[in-house]
Amino acid sequence: MGLLERLRKEWFILGIVLVIAAARLEPAVGVKGGPLKPEITITYIAVSAIFFNSGLSLKTEELTSALMHVKLHLFVQIFTLVFFPTAIWLFLQLLSITPINEWLLKGLQTVGCMPPPVSSAVILTKAVGGNEAAAIFNSAFGSFLGIVITPLLLLLFLGSSSSVPFTSIFSQLFMTVVVPLIIGQIVRRYIKDWLERKKPPFGTISSCVLLMIIYTTFCDTFANPNIDLDKFSLIIIVFIIFSVQMSFMFLTFLFSTRNNSSFTPADTVAIIFCSTHKSLTLGIPMLKIVFAGYEHLSLISVPLLIYHPAQILLGSLLVPTIKSWMVSRQKALKLTRQPKAPVKV
């Protein structure tokens, strides 16, 4: 991971801390009807801006080289959108008997339902030297799948606010997610040369808009005098998140390195990151739509806000170890495939 990219991630994490602090000091600014008018600026403009920006920046032409690796794509998408949320749901059945805040536990379930992110898994795969094309394809394809599957999973595992009918959720998702994404891709076709020459700061733009969404989400939290968030639950949730990430990374490593898996070491790297990383950029806007009007929305959002920087931190720490394994494994495979020299008599 480049120095600039790492600094951007660190500043983004710091930004999350600052907006939470600001929301705690002045919660009335970002609540419905406040000066920021989040019911308009966030619900429609900010969310649409994020996905229009994604449409502009997404290089779909780079995905064709990875398109035919069907087995790898199936593994990543099934693990991310089927196994992950199901395993979390089963785990939460055990945790439900503990004194951990129930809304934070529901937040863990929302993490499991999220699609892979567009950026972090690709950046870490590239840093290790893994199959970057496969990481790009699965991150992009998973994001597109998530537009449809993630709301369904959220409704299946958690239900929805009674004030938001099922049809409204998908019509709003279509208008604020799918349409801006398609428009962004169409615009990109006409200004591709300019974009590649100027290289606009797409990541920074999305991060700034996302910080605004996070700020208004936490304003809703701290404007509620009845909020109940105990430190014990928060500490346990942080520990669970790191444990889940480590466990699932190890699990994907075991599955993808079996003798009959046919995955290369470079494929395994892409699988590890793409299967276990979750999207904050898609996640927060989707939660805002699916659980609009839900009084506990902010508490439900907390685990996802923790998971995002945690996956970047953990992934960055593991890059040298995974790279060392991949290089040694590739050398070993190369030696086994070399034809043996004939023995001279």
- Asked whether residue 233 carries a pLDDT value surpassing 80, the answer given is yes
Helices 202-222, 280-290: inter-axial angle, 10-degree rounding:
40
Distances (CA, A) of 326 to 16, 125, 129, 329, 330: 34, 11, 8, 5, 6
- 88-109 pLDDT, tens digit per residue, is 999 999 988 888 888 889 999 9
- Cβ–Cβ under 8 Å, residues 160 and 166: yes
Give the pLDDT score at 242.
Answer: 92
Place of tokens 């870490």: 124
| Residue closest to 76 by CA, chosen among 289, 318, 327, 255 | 255
- 34-93 pLDDT, tens digit per residue, is 566 655 666 667 767 766 776 777 666 655 555 677 888 899 999 999 999 999 999 999
- Average pLDDT over every residue of 242-248: 93
Cα gap 54→123, rounded to integer Å? 16
Six token digits for residue 313: 């931190």
CB within 8 Å of 293: residues ≥ 6 apart:
161, 163, 164
Cα gap 254→234, rounded to integer Å? 30
pTM for this entry: 0.71
- Average pLDDT over every residue of 210-237: 70
Cα gap 110→151, rounded to integer Å? 10
What phi, psi does 159 have (nearest 5°)? 75, -175
- Cβ–Cβ under 8 Å, residues 151 and 170: yes
- Cβ–Cβ under 8 Å, residues 139 and 91: no
In order of start, what are the domains of the chain with their CATH numbers? 7-328 (1.20.1530.20)
